[in-house]
């Protein structure tokens, strides 16, 4: 019974696989970005696919799974470090059914499936978020943190708050699918 979420048809590009990408989002280096299908990139989001690993050949920088949502004004930036004297960017992999709230900054290395990240969060470099974990609104996850499966993290620095219910996976899956169906164009 949730209300539909309308977007203006002119603003979004819809791909064959059902991805909906706002024209107002900044997609740098699109050839290095993979969207799994039915993923929504909201307006104002910035995805830095141009920050690729040095070296020859094709490199996937940011990959998102199916039914993901990158909220308004989100910044997705691959993590970087200097290892053995060489500065390098490292790929960012995000699973299926991942929702990222508005104005969050993501520099994680890996985000599992069925993960929900709230609004105004900062997820530090090389963070690993396992399946079905959740990050509350306004949380700051320090670099190199690990969020175990089915854990809720909140605060600054983000810390373990509680274990999520066993049915989290089904709930998040239903929620993300439903959001995609509710996200409908409005001709105007």
Partner 1 sequence: MWPRIQYYCPCMSGSNLQTPPPPTLTSSSASFHPLHNLYFCEECDAVRCNRCVSVEVSGYYCPNCLFEVPSASVRAEKNRCARNCFSCPICRSTLSVVASDPPDDGDGRPSASLGNVGEAPYFLYCGHCRWDSAEVNITFEKPTGLAAQLQKFEDSAPESLEFERLKEHFEPFLRTSSLTSSSHLPAMSSHHLHPSSATAAASAALARDIPGVGKYNPLARSRAGRDRTANKDEMPEYKSRVETAVFSQLGGGGDDADVDLLRHMETVEEVAKLEQRWGNSWTTPPRSSDLRPHRIPLHSKVSKRCPACRHILIKPEQKAQSVRYKIKLVAANYLPAITVGFPQTGATKRMAGKVPSSGTDAKSGIMHAGTSNPFQLALTNPLYDPIQVRLSPQRVADGRSYQVSLPTSPFSVAAFAEAWEYDDDEDMFGVEDDELGIGTDTGRSVRDKAPRGRLKNVGILERKANVTVVGGEVNIKPGFKGNVKFNMMVSYTYRSDDPLPSEDGVGTPSRTTKVPEVKTFSFYTAVDLGSSMVSNDDKPADV
Determine the 3-state secondary structure of 32 from DSSP.
Answer: helix
- Least distance in angstroms from the C-beta of 140 to partner 1: 7
Q: Of 58 and 166, which has the nearer Cβ to partner 1?
A: 166
64 binds partner 1 (CB under 8 A): no
Length of the chain: 188
Decide if residue 85 touches partner 1 (CB under 8 A): yes
* Contacts of the segment 27-35: beta carbons below 8 A, 24+ positions apart: 29/61, 31/58, 32/58, 32/59, 32/60, 32/61, 32/62, 33/60, 33/61, 33/62, 33/63, 33/64, 34/60, 34/62, 34/63, 34/64, 35/64, 35/68
Residue 151 touching partner 1 (CB under 8 A): yes
Q: In the bound complex, what is the minimum distance in angstroms from residue 25's beta carbon to partner 1?
A: 19
Beta carbons within 8 Å of 65's beta carbon, 6+ residues apart = 36, 39, 94, 95, 96, 97, 98, 113
Nearer to partner 1, 30 or 165 (CB): 165
Closer by beta carbon to partner 1, 26 or else 170: 170
Stretch near partner 1 under the rule CB under 8 A, chosen from 27-35, 45-53, 68-76, 155-163: 155-163
DSSP code at position 52: P
Quick one: which segment of 24-32, 49-57, 100-108, 169-177 binds partner 1 (CB under 8 A)?
169-177
Q: Which of residues 35-54 bind partner 1 (CB under 8 A)?
A: 38
Out of 28, 60, 161, 171, the residue judged to bind partner 1 by CB under 8 A: 171
Q: How far is CA 174 from the centre of its chain?
A: 17
Choosing from 8, 15, 26, 144, the residue that interacts with partner 1 (CB under 8 A) is: 144
Q: Decide if 162 contacts 143 (C-beta within 8 A).
A: no
DSSP alpha helices (H): ranges in the chain?
A: 168-182
Token readout for 3 is 């209300």
Q: Is 1 a binder of partner 1 (CB under 8 A)? A: yes
Is 19 one of the binding residues for partner 1 (CB under 8 A)?
A: no
Residues near partner 1 (CB under 8 A) are 1-6, 18, 38, 84-85, 114, 124, 130-132, 140, 142-146, 148-151, 156-160, 165-171, 177, 180-182, 184, 186
């Amino acid at each position: 019974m949730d209300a539909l979420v309308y977007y203006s048809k002119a603003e979004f590009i819809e791909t064959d696989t059902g991805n909906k990408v706002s024209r107002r989002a900044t997609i740098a280096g699109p050839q290095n970005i993979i969207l799994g299908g039915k993923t929504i990139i909201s307006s104002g989001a910035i995805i830095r696919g141009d920050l690729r690993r040095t070296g020859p050949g094709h490199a996937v920088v940011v990959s998102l799974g199916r039914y993901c949502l990158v909220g308004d004004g989100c910044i997705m930036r691959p993590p970087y470090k200097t290892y053995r004297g060489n500065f390098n960017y490292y790929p960012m992999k995000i699973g299926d059914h991942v929702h990222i709230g508005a104005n969050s900054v993501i520099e994680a290395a890996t985000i599992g499936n069925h993960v929900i990240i709230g609004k105004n969060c900062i997820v530090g470099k090389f963070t690993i978020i396992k399946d079905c974990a959740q990050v509350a609104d306004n949380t700051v996850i320090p670099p190199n943190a690990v969020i175990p499966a089915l854990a809720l993290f909140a605060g600054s620095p983000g810390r373990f708050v509680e274990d999520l219910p066993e049915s989290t996976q089904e709930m998040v899956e239903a929620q993300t699918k439903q959001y995609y169906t509710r996200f409908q164009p409005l001709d105007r």
